[in-house]
Amino acid sequence: MKGYRKYFTRKILWFLITLVSAVILNFILPRLMPGDPIASIVSKIGGAGSNNPAATQAMYEHYQNAFGLDKPVIQQFFIYVKNLLRGDFGLSFSRYPIPVSEVIGNALPWTIGLQFPAIIVGWFLGNILGALAAYIRKGFDKVLMPAMLFLGGVPAFGMAIILLVIFGIGLQWFPFQGGYPPGMIPHMSWKFFAGIISHYHLPFWSIVLISVGGQSLGMRSMSIYELNADYVKYSRYMGIKDRKIVGYVFRNAMLPQITGLALSIGTMISGAMVAEIVFSYPGLGTTLLQGIRENDYPLISASTFIITLMVLTTVFILDIIYGLIDPRIKASQYE
């Protein structure tokens, strides 16, 4: 138990050090980007084409003051940390005067609603197909392998555009822009939910198909490796039933896939950017992209902070679970 305490303490310590570093980087990195967030705002709200440069200058100074960007950077940092500790991410520059927490709060559920099921479905389908390809081989593998290579190799935007052109514009089976029908006002009803589902198909499948391709190839390779492992041969010589052996094989092959799944879930809120952009699907990906385009420091910092926190937490939990279920991992930390 002493070993575990040491192991957990060390993991927690690293978690905290990484978190603090991430907070510092989240503040600094957006500010190192070239560009000026206030210039973006001034140009948008009428600076461009203004008759009087004095008006533009007055507007510039007004927003500089409102965002606190006229203060020294170190002072801005401490204000940022102080607000962060209170759960206050500040006001968005690009959607001023909306608080960042509201911007993210509106976008996050869309992203989770799209990404989480897509990751799970893609993971299950991919692993099942990969395992079957490795086990059945022959014609099934010969057909599946190139198909999965294709799916796994198509870039996300390419898959999204293929689906949009074929099933959206061409066959017109599904609506292909937005998160719900443009004529509907969001409300609790099955009709509205059906509208959401119809808009959900294309972005969902664009993520799932790519995920299936990647997952199945990984699972196929791992399964083939395991099927040829010495313990499988030995088991067969021992006369153990094939079904029993396959169960062990796929359980072992699944281990890296589970790690991948956990990391996918950890990073999911930044993962659907392409699908969100192509299908104008509301979500954090497009929100973050817009923030980056417009040098929206608070929005970028908050988004990256949430992503960092999710990844760190996932990795931390994985570390803890691995330490518990596989003592070799814990032991290897002290070699």
Please select the residue that binds another protein; options are 80, 176, 205, 316, rule is CB under 8 A: 176
Is residue 286 at the binding interface for another protein, with CB under 8 A as the rule? yes
Reading the block at residue 136, the tokens are 């059945």
- Kindly tell me which of 198 and 221 has the beta carbon lying closer to another protein: 198
For residues 298 and 100, give the distance between their C-alpha atoms in angstroms, rounded to a whole number: 7
For residues 120 and 222, give the distance between their C-alpha atoms in angstroms, rounded to a whole number: 19
Instruction: Report residue 207 CA to chain centroid gap.
Output: 11
Residues 6+ apart with CB under 8 A from 145: 133, 220
Q: Give me the least distance between CB of 146 and another protein, in Å please.
A: 29
Q: Which of residues 156-175 bind another protein (CB under 8 A)?
A: 164, 168-169, 172
Please select the residue that binds another protein; options are 27, 30, 130, 294, rule is CB under 8 A: 294
For every residue of 132-143, DSSP letters joined together read HHHHH-HHHHHH
Q: Give me the least distance between CB of 286 and another protein, in Å please.
A: 6
Q: Which of residues 92-121 bind another protein (CB under 8 A)?
A: 94-98, 102, 105-110, 112-114, 116-117, 120-121
Please select the residue that binds another protein; options are 22, 69, 196, 309, rule is CB under 8 A: 196
For residues 57 and 99, give the distance between their C-alpha atoms in angstroms, rounded to a whole number: 25
Please select the residue that binds another protein; options are 85, 182, 230, 335, rule is CB under 8 A: 182
Distances, alpha carbon 237 to alpha carbons 190, 230, 231, 240, 334, in Å: 58, 11, 10, 8, 38
- Kindly tell me which of 232 and 275 has the beta carbon lying closer to another protein: 275
Reading the block at residue 275, the tokens are 């699908």
Reading the block at residue 193, the tokens are 């939910």
Is residue 74 at the binding interface for another protein, with CB under 8 A as the rule? no
For residues 38 and 68, give the distance between their C-alpha atoms in angstroms, rounded to a whole number: 11
Is residue 155 at the binding interface for another protein, with CB under 8 A as the rule? no
Is residue 177 at the binding interface for another protein, with CB under 8 A as the rule? yes
Reading the block at residue 159, the tokens are 């898959």
Q: Give me the least distance between CB of 121 and another protein, in Å please.
A: 8
User: How many other CB atoms are there within 10 angstroms of residue 230's CB atom?
Assistant: 7
Is residue 10 at the binding interface for another protein, with CB under 8 A as the rule? no
Q: Give me the least distance between CB of 97 and another protein, in Å please.
A: 4
Q: Give me the least distance between CB of 57 and another protein, in Å please.
A: 5
Q: Which of residues 203-232 bind another protein (CB under 8 A)?
A: none
Please select the residue that binds another protein; options are 13, 17, 149, 184, rule is CB under 8 A: 184
Report phi then psi at 192, rounded to 5.
Answer: -70, -40
Is residue 85 at the binding interface for another protein, with CB under 8 A as the rule? no
For residues 173 and 190, give the distance between their C-alpha atoms in angstroms, rounded to a whole number: 20
The helix (H) or strand (E) run that includes residue 202 is: helix 190-227
Q: Give me the least distance between CB of 164 and another protein, in Å please.
A: 7
Q: Give me the least distance between CB of 177 and another protein, in Å please.
A: 5
Q: Give me the least distance between CB of 205 and another protein, in Å please.
A: 14
Cβ–Cβ < 8 Å for 157, 272:
no
- Kindly tell me which of 106 and 252 has the beta carbon lying closer to another protein: 106
Please select the residue that binds another protein; options are 9, 21, 75, 280, rule is CB under 8 A: 280
Report phi then psi at 99, rounded to 5.
Answer: -65, 145
Q: Which of residues 27-56 bind another protein (CB under 8 A)?
A: 33-37, 39-40, 42-56
Q: Give me the least distance between CB of 92 and another protein, in Å please.
A: 10
Report phi then psi at 280, rounded to 5.
Answer: 45, 40
Helix axes 100-136, 138-153, angle to 10 degrees: 160
Is residue 183 at the binding interface for another protein, with CB under 8 A as the rule? yes
